[in-house]
Amino acid sequence: MGQTRIFFPQAALDQWVGDGIVEISGDILTITAEGRSYRMIEAARFLSEVAGAGDENDLVGKVVSRVFLSELGAEVLEDSVILGENAYDVVCGFLAAPIGTLDEHLVGAARAEARKTHPDSHRLSDRAPESEEALLARFLLKGL
């Protein structure tokens, strides 16, 4: 199975940073209560093609990096992407991948420190997550 990746909408990140749920330093996002870090790249989640030209680029329903969009010659304008004759509604944000393995994280100093410094009410769980997906699910359910 490939590496877990997750899309974080910009609006959600803004809220979570304001609430102290995550910290961002450069291209690294850290879930503060868990100490789990992810490397991020700018991306857009494609919701629909709105020009009526059809989705010849097969982008609807996908998350695509801004670098790739630039290479395609696409123009990103707030919540829209123009690519040739196509116009898309998108959600801008970041595509993130975990840094290191989950096993490394579970025994690492960052997790131990995060769990020591955050009150029980902010912890995702006292149990170790069984997968990266489970950790992210706990985080998203707690953060919503």
Residue 50 lies in a domain: yes
Tokens of 64: 């695509």
The Cα 41–Cα 95 span in angstroms is 5
The Cα 137–Cα 85 span in angstroms is 38
Q: How many domains does the chain have?
A: 1
Residue 100 lies in a domain: yes
Side chain identity, residue 64: V
The Cα 65–Cα 71 span in angstroms is 10
Does the CA dihedral 141-3-108-22 come out positive or negative? Answer: negative
pLDDT of residue 1: 41
The pTM score is 0.83
Residue 64 lies in a domain: yes
Residue 71 lies in a domain: yes
pLDDT tens for each residue of 108-144:
777 777 777 765 545 555 677 888 888 888 888 775 5
Measuring CA to CA, which residue among 61, 15, 6 is closest to residue 37? 6
Side chain identity, residue 92: C
Domain enclosing residue 64, as ranges: 6-143
Flag whether pLDDT at 65 surpasses 80. yes
Residue 84 lies in a domain: yes
Residue 1 lies in a domain: no
CB < 8 Å & 24+ apart, contacts of 16-25: 16/143, 21/122, 21/143
The Cα 103–Cα 118 span in angstroms is 21
Does the CA dihedral 64-65-69-75 come out positive or negative? Answer: positive
pLDDT tens for each residue of 78-93:
999 999 999 999 999 9
